[in-house]
A and B are shown apart, each in its own frame.
Chain A
């Protein structure tokens, strides 16, 4: 792991007290200065670009899927079917790729690797993450993993759904192995990021930054990192076993050779359920920041929120079986897993109440990030509450593997994890690029996304309770009307995201310059210039209560806030 003498290279280019306008973006120039950078901010930015690119890719496949489902029978998939293949097969590849890309390339690295990398060390008051080289390494692992996916795309796609259940995944002939290798590599990228964050938070907290002075985003990221380290290796070995099963018929997962398909589901969900918390916990952390900062009021029940993050992380390991209530898992295990599952719902509920209580009596500014924060609370409440139907043994029998599940996890993964991430992007964008985006466009795009999302996915709850199974290329006509509504909603969302892409790009070139502290926040990243200097802090910053807004005053001249404590 990162033998320290290797880091010596960087100590040469350490910036002596950096004077504006020297910041991390213009600190050094040229392709290599980015490709080989050890600066967590640049790495975070590169991650962000990659993740958003993959989000666009996954989004395109989502739109294809929705369009195909506009009417029963073949709609558009036929046009994409090569002579050898049938429309169904084309459609199956679409949803497989959509799922795999969105989960492994977008949501899991999204908040921790992209935003976390940029924000976490500055928030903490550190000069960098603990192992900068490892950090760069995990970025390139991510790139390689992504390349494997691209390869499968151009090599005829991959079938089997992102869960790759055996024995189907072990028996069919599409590019399962390249895809699995890609996921395996992405897994290690995620592990290394997690290790980096845990060590950074343990060892690089400046004096005065005690555990309970840490911003809540750090608590979220810390819990996430623990899961990444402890759960992801099991995914790795599961994929290796599956590859062995495909190539050598080792007989662990394939009944044909003496294996047990349900065992694969245990292996897979032991990682993939905690992975759900890898996705949601950092988003929750972001929202805790957004609500507090834009209400200019300290988070209500800081300790409850902090502890509930850890609680969710730990309980998250004990509930994987609730994905298997109808898989012929034994009734006893069904009961145990259902019981523990409900216990996870409590800390999530606590967070929602605390966020509301934080807004109460605050000084709220309906900025764009705040709008995303509010959207998160609304969507996460729906996502969380509908989880109760699926955690309940009896009702889950009806809902399992229907569109109800699809709607539920889209509310949690997209409506919560991704909306939270975009909230973070809008919150830290001025800090990242030093410029403001167009607020009006941003509000329009927010509205389109928010409304479009609910139109798309709330309809799918109805579809699901009506019994529409997931992963269907064709469906009974009685479901048609819901599918049409859902598809319309997905187009609204697409429009919203196009607008977002436009104003974010436009802001980089034409955006209004952002002051150091445009939102009136008091966490450390807002105490250094926008964009931050190469080394974050010339001298170790004075750590104060990062949620005390009394010393933060608005200065109309600069259109931002100034802090009396460190001006």
Chain B
């Protein structure tokens, strides 16, 4: 966790933040809006499920990183804050990947409850 503090001036009333220029922030918004148009536009083009998913995710990731880096100041923050965000993402991906790997392996053999012997006759159980 390589974060080291910036030191403090003797009166403790120093600038803590890192004010960004308005033009810069508006620029980021423009980029985000542009990417939104892109992702909506792309969704009208016919392409395979997987491709569509990947494209959408790619754009979303770019947008997300813009927000995180500049609106949320990660770009100028202590690295450990980014480490936390990345770590949470990493564990999430890991979770999804393992669960998917498993369900993917057996889903094909899942028979819905209605297949179970005597179930069809029984009809869908009410509650």
Contacts and interface: CB of A to CB of B under 8 A. Distances in A.
A and B from one complex: yes
Given A262-B103, A330-B106, 17 more contacts: A202-B80, A234-B95, A256-B125, A262-B106, A263-B103, A266-B98, A266-B102, A266-B103, A267-B99, A270-B95, A270-B99, A317-B91, A328-B106, A329-B106, A330-B101, A330-B102, A333-B101
A52 interface: no
B112 interface: yes
B94 interface: yes
B105 A255 contact: no
B102 A258 contact: no
B102 A333 contact: yes
Contacts of A332: 101, 105
Chain B binding surface SS class: helix
Interface string B55-74: 00000000000000000000
Contacts of B3: 202
Interface in A217-271: 230, 234, 249, 255-256, 258, 260, 262-263, 266-267, 270
A138 to B, nearest CB: 19
Nearest to B116: A255
A262 B105 CA distance: 12
Interface of B: 1, 3, 80, 87-88, 91, 94-95, 98-99, 101-103, 105-107, 110, 112-113, 124-125, 127
Contact of A255 (B88, B107, B112): B112
A260 B110 contact: yes
Nearest to A267: B99
29 contacts: A202-B1, A202-B80, A230-B87, A234-B95, A249-B127, A256-B113, A258-B112, A260-B103, A260-B107, A262-B102, A262-B103, A263-B99, A263-B103, A266-B98, A266-B102, A266-B103, A270-B95, A318-B94, A318-B98, A321-B102, A329-B102, A329-B106, A330-B101, A330-B102, A330-B106, A333-B98, A333-B101, A333-B102, A333-B105
B103 to A, nearest CB: 6
Which among A266, A321, A336 has the highest number of chain B CB atoms within 10 Å? A266
A336 B87 CA distance: 22
Nearest to B92: A234
Contacts of A255: 112-113
B89 to A, nearest CB: 11
Contacts of B113: 255-256
